[in-house]
């Protein structure tokens, strides 16, 4: 059974950086597109970023564009999300999931996702 595991969450001050990681057991994450999602308290889960299997296709939600960077670590079979210039509104539980394709846009990525992890909590506060 495939399971994704997120790590790296925690408390970060506004304006600082935090790096989240996504690993997989039971599957070669390198073979699939991977999406990052987040769910803030009282809000629906939303797509944040997507990276294609090749790593050449990269997409971001407008709310994080220019601040977040998604990348692959192929030797380690992991995907990372570097959160720069953090804002309080970035506070959420962050999830990674396999997505069937990054094409179609970030907004509809949720419907194309599977293999959800348990999430990692990110709190941006001073």
Looking at residue 95, its pLDDT comes to 97
Looking at residue 40, its pLDDT comes to 97
Looking at residue 117, its pLDDT comes to 87
The string of DSSP letters for 47-78 reads: EEEEE-SSS--EEE-TTTTTTEEEEEETTTTE
Tokens in use for 51? 């990276």
By the 10 Å C-beta count (0-12 exposed, 13-18 middle, 19+ buried), 10 is classed as exposed
Three-state secondary-structure class, residue 5: strand
Looking at residue 99, its pLDDT comes to 94
Looking at residue 104, its pLDDT comes to 84
Mean pLDDT by 10 residues, the chain (126 residues): 92 98 91 96 96 95 98 95 98 96 88 91 97
């Amino acid at each position: 059974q495939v399971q994704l595991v997120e790590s790296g969450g925690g408390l970060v001050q506004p304006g600082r950086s935090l790096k989240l990681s996504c690993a997989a057991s039971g599957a070669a994450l390198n073979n699939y597109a991977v999406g990052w999602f987040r769910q803030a308290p009282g809000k629906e889960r939303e797509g944040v970023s997507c990276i294609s299997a090749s790593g050449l296709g990269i997409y971001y939600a407008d709310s994080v564009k220019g601040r977040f960077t998604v990348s692959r670590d192929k030797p380690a079979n992991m995907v990372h999300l570097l959160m720069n210039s953090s804002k309080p509104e970035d506070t959420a539980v962050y999830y990674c999931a396999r997505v069937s394709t990054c094409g179609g846009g970030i907004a509809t990525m949720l419907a194309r996702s599977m293999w959800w992890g348990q999430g990692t909590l990110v709190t941006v506060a001073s």
